[in-house]
């Protein structure tokens, strides 16, 4: 039987969708088409997810209705139309009140010569950079591990002697001197705990992976937070019930989201008025790009997304790029190891973590793989 002509194939329907729709919906990046008066006349499934609206809703709007009026996206569309050629920009903030800050690589191009319709392609910025950054975090963690091995030998042993001597002195000391010996004991304990935390980075054992229900992990973290450091803070959850189990270590994943939640609660303490603090947990399945792991031929998918959002004061812009590096902290008495440990654990699980922050809206976004033997939802 002769093959159908190419033109007939492109206009035929498969399960109610044209071949064009099937192709465009298979693309993991957002694609929209802008028509006359900047009306949105097409949106693929990735665009629905990005804008948080169904295609039906998007097609009822102009582009100015879904992004701020001063968004650089609008000027890029106008530039493409006026020049009659494709225009590309990198690291463009396509953030909306719904999505927050969102850096994207954007290409806008006319559909044809003299055609005012414009195809816009939005590609999430820096996934490869995130993988490279994750490797940097791991390298930094190894440096901390090497340092902790030295500290364990050179500091922890003498600390035990100093603490023991202080306790002996305390037995026959005056009340004023006992205050000093207690201070010595408290400081030696504090330094020992710091070294103990650093030693965690030296744990290079492979993770024993088991299917973990991430929603149960988040519920567990919320209960701990509400009973301790996050009293008076409102929690909200928006969960995707179709998420498959995450292959990982349950205790370590609890540690990740407990640290992120504690970080959010600390930020809220310096942010909104009492009683207005909010921490939001959300999960979603993102049919994202498959990433090449630097240094190997392996390609992995990171479709499982977990977000922890707070309405605290935000992260200073000069610190944000280094937030997951060891000893970097915004807290007056912080050690700078909490988020570094989070980055290490996420990396050990084959995932990526990033932070997007502005005043009253900070989002920690964790992308994780799903089990290889599970089918995508």
Of the candidates 135, 71, 69, 133, which has an alpha carbon nearest to the alpha carbon of residue 101? 71
Mean pLDDT over each residue of the chain, to the nearest integer: 79
**Of the listed ranges 182-186, 283-287, 332-336, the one predicted with least confidence:** 332-336
In a domain, 140, yes or no: yes
Beta bridge partners of 122: 30, 106
The answer, yes or no, to whether residue 230 has pLDDT greater than 90, is yes
Q: pLDDT-based confidence at 202, cuts 50/70/90?
A: low
Q: What is the mean pLDDT of residues 3-13?
A: 43
Which is higher by pLDDT, 338 or 149?
Answer: 338
Pair 309, 351: CB distance under 8 Å: no
Residues 132 and 121 in one domain: no
Q: Among 16-30, 215-229, 248-262, which stretch is predicted with the lowest mean pLDDT?
A: 16-30
The model carries a pTM of 0.57
What is the band of 12 on the pLDDT scale with cuts at 50, 70, 90? Answer: very low
Angle at CA of residue 254, ends 250 and 256, nearest 5°: 115
Report how many domains make up the chain.
3
Structural domain span for residue 162: 128-202
Q: Are 307 and 277 a contacting pair, CB within 8 Å?
A: no
- Highest mean pLDDT among 35-49, 146-160, 275-289, 290-304 belongs to 35-49
Determine, yes or no, domain membership for 373: no
73-76 long-range contacts (CB < 8 A, ≥24 apart) are: 73/106, 73/108, 73/120, 74/38, 76/106, 76/108, 76/120
Range of weakest confidence among 133-137, 183-187, 193-197? 133-137
Looking at the structure, tell me whether residues 226 and 191 fall in a common domain. no
187 with 295, same domain? no
Instruction: Residue 372: name the closest of 306, 307, 304 by CA.
Output: 304
Residue 254 shares a structural domain with residue 157: no
| Distances, alpha carbon 291 to alpha carbons 132, 235, 303, in Å | 11, 33, 11
Domain-terminating residue out of 77, 96, 125: 125
CB-CB contact of 245 with 213 (8 Å): yes
What CATH number is associated with residue 34? 3.30.450.20
**What integer is the mean pLDDT of 311-326?**
85
Shared domain for 359 and 217, answered yes or no, is: yes
Residues comprising the chain, all counted: 377
- 374 found inside a domain: no
Phi, psi angles (nearest 5°) of residue 266? -65, -40
Q: Which range scores top for mean pLDDT: 201-210, 297-306, 361-370?
A: 361-370
Q: Are residues 102 and 138 in the same domain?
A: no
Asked if residue 222 and residue 196 are part of one domain, the reply reads: no
Do 257 and 270 lie in one domain? The reply is: yes
Q: What pLDDT is recorded for position 261?
A: 97
- Domain boundary (86, 110, 125) is at 125
> How does residue 322 score in pLDDT terms, banded at 50, 70 and 90?
confident
Residue 30 lies in a domain: yes
1 assigned to some structural domain: no
For residue 189, is it within any domain? yes
Measured N-to-C along each axis, helices 338-348 and 127-151 cross at an angle, to the nearest 10 degrees, of: 120
- Look at residue 267 in the predicted model and tell me its pLDDT: 92
Quick one: 121 and 134 in the same domain?
no
Residue 377 lies in a domain: no
Does 361 lie in the same domain as 269?
yes
CATH of the domain at 230: 3.30.565.10
Per DSSP (E only), the strands in the chain are 13-14, 17-18, 30-34, 40-43, 87-93, 103-110, 118-124, 210-212, 234-238, 246-248, 278-285, 290-292, 299-301, 304-310, 352-358, 361-368
Asked if 32 and 85 sit in the same domain, the reply is: yes
pLDDT at 21: 77
Q: What confidence category does residue 119 fall into, taking pLDDT thresholds of 50, 70 and 90?
A: very high
Q: Which of 202, 234, 253 is the C-terminal boundary of a domain? A: 202
User: What per-residue confidence (pLDDT) applies to 281?
Assistant: 97
pLDDT at 91: 66
Residues 284 and 302 in one domain: yes
Q: Is residue 158 part of a domain?
A: yes
């Amino acid at each position: 039987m002769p093959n159908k002509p190419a033109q007939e194939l492109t206009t035929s329907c498969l399960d109610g969708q044209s071949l064009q729709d099937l192709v465009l919906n298979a693309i993991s990046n957002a694609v929209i088409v802008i028509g006359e008066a900047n009306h949105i006349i097409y949106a693929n499934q990735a665009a629905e997810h990005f804008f948080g609206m169904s295609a039906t809703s998007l097609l009822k709007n102009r582009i100015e209705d879904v992004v701020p009026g001063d968004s650089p996206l609008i000027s890029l569309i106008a530039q493409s139309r006026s020049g009659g050629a494709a225009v590309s920009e990198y690291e463009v903030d396509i953030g909306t009140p719904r999505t927050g800050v969102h850096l994207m690589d954007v290409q806008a191009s006319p559909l044809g010569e003299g055609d005012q319709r414009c195809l816009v392609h939005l590609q999430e910025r820096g996934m490869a950079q995130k993988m490279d950054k994750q490797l940097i975090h791991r390298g930094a963690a190894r440096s901390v591990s090497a340092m902790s091995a030295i500290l364990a030998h050179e500091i922890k042993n003498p600390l035990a002697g100093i603490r023991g001597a202080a306790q002996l002195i305390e037995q026959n000391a005056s009340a004023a001197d006992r205050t000093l010996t207690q201070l010595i004991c408290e400081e030696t304990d504090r330094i020992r705990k710091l070294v103990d935390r650093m030693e965690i980075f030296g744990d290079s054992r492979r993770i024993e992976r088991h299917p973990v229900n991430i929603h149960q992990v988040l519920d567990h973290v919320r209960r701990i937070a509400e009973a301790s450091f996050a009293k008076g803070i409102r929690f909200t959850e928006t969960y995707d019930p179709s998420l498959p189990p995450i292959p990982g270590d349950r205790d370590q994943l609890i540690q990740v989201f407990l640290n992120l939640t504690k970080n959010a609660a600390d930020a809220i303490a310096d942010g909104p008025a009492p009683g207005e603090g909010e921490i939001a947990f959300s999960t979603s399945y993102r049919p994202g790009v498959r990433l090449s792991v630097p240094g190997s031929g392996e390609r992995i998918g990171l479709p499982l997304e977990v977000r922890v959002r707070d309405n605290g004061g935000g992260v200073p812009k000069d610190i944000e790029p280094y937030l997951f590096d060891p000893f970097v902290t915004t807290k007056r008495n912080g050690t700078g190891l909490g988020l570094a440990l989070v980055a290490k654990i996420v990396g050990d699980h084959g995932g990526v973590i990033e932070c997007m922050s502005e005043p009253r809206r900070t989002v920690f976004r964790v992308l994780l793989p799903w089990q290889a033997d599970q089918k995508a939802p």
